[in-house]
Amino acid sequence: MIFRIILTTIKSALLATFLFIALFNQITIYDIFIASVITFVITAVISFFMILFTLLPFKIIGDYFSYNNVQIFQVFFPYYAMVSFAICTWFIVISKDDNMVKSLFFAAFFTSIMAWYWLFKKTN
């Protein structure tokens, strides 16, 4: 499980970095390497804690009820995805067209749902 968490963190950080840099679209080609590295480090830390505090509890609860990964996904993922979408959309709406906030929460939503996919995909 620890290996899977680390792998999911790296994948999530890569996806978040790509989405954020692509959507923010205000970084010149000369700065893109440094910006990507900084974004990757920050998103890796955020992703790790996101997995630890928002995904792992579902795994623990699922294990308690003897659910397999697919069952955990089916029971909890819909509500997680909807809440995540609602929170991110709310921040995007109140940001009043701030490109940075829009890019950040857009990336956050997609990363959060892809993290579920990577963490719970067919292991059984």
Interface residues toward other proteins, by CB under 8 A: 22-23, 25, 70-71, 73-75, 77-79, 81-82, 85, 113-114, 116-117, 120-122
- Burial-class residue 19 by CB neighbours within 10 Å (0-12, 13-18, 19+): buried
User: What is the nearest approach in angstroms of other proteins to the Cβ of residue 5?
Assistant: 19
| Amino acid in position 44 | A
User: What is the nearest approach in angstroms of other proteins to the Cβ of residue 92?
Assistant: 13
| Amino acid in position 77 | F
Cβ-based nearer residue to other proteins, 73 or 105: 73
Q: Which ranges constitute the DSSP H helices of 51-98?
A: 56-64, 69-94
Cβ-based nearer residue to other proteins, 45 or 74: 74
